[in-house]
Structure 1
Amino acid sequence: MAAAAGGAAGAARAPRGAAAGKRIEVPIKKAGSGIEEKLHTWPFLVRNEFLVAIVVTVLLTVWSLTINAPLEEPSNPTRTPNPSKAPWYFLGLQEMLVFFDPWYAGVVLPSFIIVGLMLVPYLDINPKGNGYYTFRERMFEVLTFFIGFHVLWVSFIIIGTFFRGPGWNWFWPGQYWDPHMVEALTNVDLPYMFGFRDYTLSALFGLSLIGGYFVVGMAVFYWWVRRRPANDPWSAFPGGGPELLEKWGPVRFGITGFLLLAMAGVFIKMVMRHALNIKYIMVTPWINI
């Protein structure tokens, strides 16, 4: 009786139409638990984070001992230091003043940065990567943040800290900061290079260039997203193509494209300033870009 019960439990049920008394052997697959391997936050993750924090603290402490940062006298309104640098967390904005109009670099661009960061949770429709790190499934998001934060913002801070000296001139590390050094730079507005001398015509010319940049850029961005294969694991847009554009929607797609093009425009303006000595693209009595 027990043997019969054991045989019934261990063997598979015979298919219909099988001859009575004939032995049928069916391989039984081992059932998986279905539970992914997980680790507890404590102590595994917290321990590693604590060790990294200790190492970073030691490095910052040793580095601070090698830098001359004396306590200076109270600020004197009759004496302006040269160079006059903002705190390190504002050096990025101060460095952008080299390439843009003060109103644009100090108000418009920071507003784009703040509003863009606030809109990230509403623009990101990729559900993957929640609760775990993955680069393949969030390639577009990771690369966008890396370029915007590390390549642009952090590089501005590094340049303003180590490469800008008296007169906000460029000094290489180890080079003597000569306060009397004069660099002759002839910066020309882009409309002026094309022969425009009138404010109205210059503004219209620059506005048409900037408008064309965004129109062409949005078209290229749309074409690039639309042609992404949905089954490509290394695609910057998993599940790309028309289905992604439909889920994304025109509003979110347009805002994302505008922010990306505005970020790329900062880099393009830097290259134009350093390589071609172009000061502004659009010149108006109110704002210059």
Structure 2
Amino acid sequence: MVDPVSYDEFIASVSGPLGWFFVLLTVMNLVAAARTVLGRDGTTLLQWKRFRLVSGQLWVVLAVWFAIQAVLCFRADPTSMAWVAMPNWAKQWVDHWMSPTWYTIGLLGGLLGMFLARRFFVRPPVAWLMLNLSMWFLGASLTDQNFYQIVSKPDNVPIVGMVYLLGFFTWMSAYRAVQNDDRLARGEPPLEAVDDEKTLVWPDLVYIELICMVAVTAVLIVWAIVLKAPLEEPANAAHTPNPSKAPWYFLGLQELLVYFDPWLAGVVLPGLILFGLIAIPYLDPNPEGVGYYTILKRPFAYVVFQFGFLGLWISLILMGTFLRGPNWSFFGIYETWDVHKSATLQHYNLSDYFWIWMLGRELPTASADAGMGGRVAVILWRELPGLLLMTLYFIGLPILAASRIPLFRQLYAQMGWPRFAVMMLLLMWMILLPIKMVANWQLNLQYFVAIPEWTLNL
């Protein structure tokens, strides 16, 4: 995947833009420090005896650090860039832990941790520090040829921007939600109820929309000039690109095709997503939290949405963009895309594990002269372990949750069994996705229920 250029030539080509990138970070932190000093709203980040570190002081330190990085980049020699680049040991460590299992577990665990400690992470100094760390990580990683080739592709540039936009809007909504939760706990109205001044469409709203239209047009023009259109050669039936990836907005569905049959991953699951979004107003019995940001008033809805949107959909898009390479194999973000990388060639079904591995027997098969009823009975007997497991999962677990878990017991009482059953069906399908993915990666498990005779595999 690396272009046939030497590392020195590569460094010379990226050092200039990277230098301006660090200049931008320097200016950003100087502006943040100035606002903190002028506004006299510095937050104490660390205090030990007489030593006290205020947020404004940290922003100045970061500005100086990024300025030094910019100077080193503008020198444009490998020796100076070695102080900017991500160390090799760090790249090896990241690639080692960038396996699909640890990626998924780490992402879901990180989202859960930030939800539980949201009062810490929504603090503006903490969010600004996390932004700086992520920008430094991006800049230091751009000195790696493999990482640069992935991130700088015209198709992938908007994905990088999407990550930062999602981070900002997720933080902003959580920040406002925490503020509103505190206000409601004190008996005060939410912020949205306080700021109820009417705004005229003309001229206020129209002027804002006009300014946004001009700004977006300018950005698109610059984008079209700087980034080449990601056009490929004409289609050739004798040559398929490797990897052949769908557009970014379909990468999640393409990733699902690895774990489910096409009719299920391409038709049923997207249909369930649309049905679930349409059904939300009819399933949610909670009248609170409408028209303003909140978490405590709607914790279950908030967690389920973040799990489905960030933990599943966005996660699959990022996985397909940055971690999937030739032959649809997994690669670390710094790893060379080698078409000869070995992949798991053999997957097994749950019936294989049960009959062959556990019982040491052959899979049940119908005799050649068996009738339709006999063949159906043999198929059901062969897949009985998977059928029982899926029955317990989709029926037994919801019943157990409604009777044993207080949250679901309360939801069942509020919603009634029809709406509760629909909600649990959608929720169990959501949870099944990461379960199936991890089972595929760790156990080489292809299907829980495999009935190729009927084109029915789950």
Same fold (TM over 0.5): yes
**Contact conserved, 2:259 with 2:436, CA < 8 A, in 1?**
yes
Q: Tell me, what secondary structure is at the counterpart of 1:133?
A: coil
Q: What residue is the counterpart of 2:418 in the other structure?
A: 251
Q: What residue is the counterpart of 1:28 in the other structure?
A: none
Letter aligned with residue 288 of structure 1? N
Q: What residue is the counterpart of 1:175 in the other structure?
A: 335
Letter aligned with residue 390 of structure 2? I
| Cα distance, 1:276–1:79 mapped onto 2, change above 3 Å | same
Q: Tell me, what secondary structure is at the counterpart of 1:195?
A: helix
| Cα distance, 1:205–1:269 mapped onto 2, change above 3 Å | same
TM-score of the superposed pair, with normalisation by structure 1: 0.72
**Contact conserved, 1:206 with 1:281, CA < 8 A, in 2?**
yes
Q: Which runs of 5+ in 2 are unaligned?
A: 1-188, 357-362, 365-378
Q: What residue is the counterpart of 1:85 in the other structure?
A: 245
Q: Tell me, what secondary structure is at the counterpart of 2:351?
A: helix
| Cα distance, 1:201–1:143 mapped onto 2, change above 3 Å | same
1:222 equivalenced with 2:402 (yes/no): yes
Distance 2:304 2:220 in 1: 28
Q: What residue is the counterpart of 2:194 in the other structure?
A: 37
Distance 1:275 1:64 in 2: 43
Q: What residue is the counterpart of 1:141 in the other structure?
A: 301
Distance 1:270 1:41 in 2: 49
Distance 1:166 1:247 in 2: 50
Deviation at 1:247, TM superposition (A): 3.2
Q: What residue is the counterpart of 2:277 in the other structure?
A: 117
| Cα distance, 1:185–1:68 mapped onto 2, change above 3 Å | farther
Distance 2:228 2:342 in 1: 26
Deviation at 1:42, TM superposition (A): 4.1
Letter aligned with residue 172 of structure 1? G
Aligned match for 1:163, one of 323, 328, 339: 323
Distance 1:101 1:209 in 2: 19
Distance 1:60 1:177 in 2: 31
Deviation at 1:67, TM superposition (A): 7.0
Aligned match for 1:272, one of 430, 439, 446: 439
Output aligned runs, 1:57-72, within 5 Å.
70-72=230-232
Distance 1:252 1:210 in 2: 21
| Cα distance, 1:159–1:61 mapped onto 2, change above 3 Å | farther
| Cα distance, 1:179–1:253 mapped onto 2, change above 3 Å | same
| Cα distance, 1:135–1:224 mapped onto 2, change above 3 Å | farther
Q: What residue is the counterpart of 2:24 in the other structure?
A: none
1:287 equivalenced with 2:287 (yes/no): no
Deviation at 1:63, TM superposition (A): 9.1
Aligned match for 1:210, one of 387, 390, 406: 390
Query: Per-residue CA shift, 1:103-124, capped at 9, x if unaligned?
Result: 2211221111111111111101
**Contact conserved, 1:116 with 1:259, CA < 8 A, in 2?**
yes
**Contact conserved, 2:347 with 2:444, CA < 8 A, in 1?**
yes
Q: What residue is the counterpart of 2:171 in the other structure?
A: none
| Cα distance, 1:60–1:213 mapped onto 2, change above 3 Å | farther
Larger CA Rg, structure 1 vs 2: 1
Q: Tell me, what secondary structure is at the counterpart of 2:450?
A: coil
Q: Tell me, what secondary structure is at the counterpart of 1:249?
A: helix
TM-score of the superposed pair, with normalisation by structure 2: 0.47
**Contact conserved, 1:104 with 1:287, CA < 8 A, in 2?**
no
Distance 2:342 2:285 in 1: 51
Q: Which runs of 5+ in 1 are unaligned?
A: 1-33, 229-236
Query: Per-residue CA shift, 1:109-152, capped at 9, x if unaligned?
Result: 11111111111111011111111111110111111111011100
Distance 1:41 1:186 in 2: 64
Letter aligned with residue 137 of structure 1? K
Q: Deviating runs (4+, > 6 A) in structure 1? A: 56-68
Distance 1:266 1:274 in 2: 12
Higher helix proportion (structure 1 or 2): 2
Deviation at 1:81, TM superposition (A): 0.7
| Count of matched residue pairs | 237
- Identity percentage of aligned residues: 41
**Contact conserved, 1:95 with 1:160, CA < 8 A, in 2?**
yes
Q: What residue is the counterpart of 1:29 in the other structure?
A: none
1:76 equivalenced with 2:236 (yes/no): yes
Instruction: Give the aligned CA root-mean-square deviation in angstroms.
Output: 3.2
Higher relative contact order (CA 8 A, sep 6+): 1
Letter aligned with residue 261 of structure 1? M
